Amino acid sequence: MKNSLFRHEVVPLLAMFIFLMGATTTGEYLLEMFGFVWIGRYLGIPGTLLIILSLTYSLRKRKYISSGNPQKLLRMHELLTWLGALLVLVHAGSHFNTILPWLALIAMVVNLISGMIGRYLLGRSRQHMMAKQESYKTRGLSKVEIDKELFWDAVTFQLMEKWRVVHFPISFIFAVLALGHIISILMFWEWR
């Protein structure tokens, strides 16, 4: 049982994180090998934009926007944050020159790990909700509607609510630190 739990729930999380680190190292190595290290300086911009784009899901969930399939948006949120984090990690590189960007980077990685844990908890919540599936069926809902209802139930499940209490402040800290880094760059950039 323990083996099964480790294999089904812990290994995928670890694999995703290790894959991200591997992709970062490879990207950085390729840039250096082909003499394009200077490109890394600008990869922070698309990385940040991807992360901002991934927030569409957060807006949909908090009902600031009403259109869009929440399930698809969540998948997009996961993918875009992963890609954005990859670009930002390559942008940061393996050099350590100053503190603020590194604080932002650490916040981003913690945020990413928190997101991965959230993904795992969501799976667990959905399993709990499976019992409700039968009652939806008896009420005569279609399969698409049942899936949608189950998703919202899982998202609003108590376990998820507890996790969100942690995830949101981490995101907020990351956003503030990243903004500080961006502002400092804009201040000292060679604009001419």
Partner 1 sequence: MKKSIKLIIVINLLAVTALTILYAHKMVSPGKLIAGHQSFEKNCFDCHTLFVGISERKCIKCHELSKIGLFDTKGNKLDKKAKKTTRPFHHELRDGYCVEYHTDHAGMIVYRRFDYADELEKIALEEARKQGKPEMLHLFRQRFSHGLIKETKRKVCTICHEEQKDDKHRNFSKDCGQCHTFDKWKPAKFNHDMIMLPKRNDCMACHKKELPKDIVHRNAPTDCKQCHTFDKWKPAKFNHDFETFPELLNCIACHKPKQPRDIIHRNASDQCGLCHSAEKWKPALFKHEIDKFPEIENCIACHKPIEPVDIIHRNASQKCGQCHSFDNWKTKTFEHDLVSFPELKQCTACHKNKKPDDTMHRNVTQECGQCHGTKKWKPATYNHDRFFVFDKHHKRCTTCHRIPSYKKPDYKKYTCYFCHAHSKGGIRASHRKKGMRNINKCTDCHRNTSKREAKKAWESIKRGIPYQFPWLKGKTR
Which residues here bind partner 1, judged by CB under 8 A?
A: 35-38, 40-41, 93, 95, 97-101, 103, 165, 168-169, 172-173, 176-177, 180-181, 184, 186-192
Q: Which of 2, 18, 8 is nearest to 120 (CA)?
A: 8
Tell me whether residue 2 or residue 95 sits nearer to partner 1 (CB atom). Answer: 95
Tell me whether residue 27 or residue 101 sits nearer to partner 1 (CB atom). Answer: 101
Tell me whether residue 81 or residue 171 sits nearer to partner 1 (CB atom). Answer: 171
Lookup: tokens for 191: 């604009």
Give the shortest CB-163-to-partner 1 separation in angstroms: 12
Cα–Cα distance measured from residue 167 to residue 77, given in angstroms and rounded to the nearest whole number: 14
Give the shortest CB-185-to-partner 1 separation in angstroms: 8
Give the shortest CB-92-to-partner 1 separation in angstroms: 11
How many beta carbons lie within 10 A of that of residue 44, not counting itself? 21
Give the shortest CB-115-to-partner 1 separation in angstroms: 18
Q: Which amino acid appears at position 164 of this protein?
A: R
Lookup: tokens for 11: 């290994």
Tell me whether residue 33 or residue 131 sits nearer to partner 1 (CB atom). Answer: 33
The angle, 0 to 180 degrees and rounded to 10, between the axes of the packed helices 44-54 and 70-92 is 160
Tracing tokens 């400092």 back to the chain, one arrives at 184
